[in-house]
Amino acid sequence: MGGRVARRLASRGLAQRLIVRDPKRMEAIPGADVHAIAGYQAGTEVRRALRGVGTMLLIPATEGEGRVGDHRTTVEAAVAAGVRHIVHLSFIGAPPDCTFTLALDHWATEQDIRRIAPAYTLLRMNMYLDFMPKLAGPIPGTPRPSSGRCW
């Protein structure tokens, strides 16, 4: 998702700072200022990388035990660096009593953003399309494609 957004911004000639964990994994984005950090939990690195940035797009970290705290650390570091607007790619139907961990994590991150950020936008996506094939198996009685492509 981050790469797609970065490419679109670059195609419009907009300046951007990309904060990545592994610069070798990303494609070259024309005119982008790239900063590497250890991860969302690296508050000092995040703060340093975001100095001078007005708006930050927060793409959620991979689901895991420390994800909410890592997001909080990043949000706090962003505000400390002077970020005035945080755009968070959240999840549709993320209530506090949700039993779906992914949505519950997003709810908690939204609460932190509401509490900490001067201004924010919460984008509530439904599902990443690249994840959908993992939710389905082969159709019973149908041979698997030899190409290895998903159904």
pLDDT, tens digit (0-9, with 9 covering 90-100), for 61-93: 887 889 999 999 999 999 999 999 999 999 887
The burial of 58, by beta-carbon neighbours within 10 Å (0-12 exposed, 13-18 middle, 19 or more buried), is given as: buried
**Considering only 6-10, 58-62, 124-128, 141-145, which range has the smallest mean pLDDT?**
141-145
Tokens of 47: 């703060």
For the ranges 69-73, 133-137, 140-144, the one whose mean pLDDT is highest: 69-73
Residues ≥6 apart with Cβ < 8 Å to 4: none
Q: Answer yes or no: are the C-beta atoms of 125 and 88 closer than 8 Å.
A: no
Question: Which residue reads 């400390």 in tokens?
Answer: 80
- Best CA proximity match to 58, nearest among 43, 42, 72: 72
Each residue of 47-63: pLDDT tens digit? 999 999 999 999 988 87
Could you say which of 3.40.50.720, 3.40.605.10, 3.40.30.10, 3.60.21.10 is the CATH number of the domain covering 54-127?
3.40.50.720
Whether 139 shows a pLDDT value over 70: the answer reads no
Which residue ranges make up each domain of the chain?
Answer: 54-127
Distance of alpha carbon 143 from the chain centroid: 36
Note the pLDDT of residue 129: 66
* Residue 128: per-residue pLDDT: 64
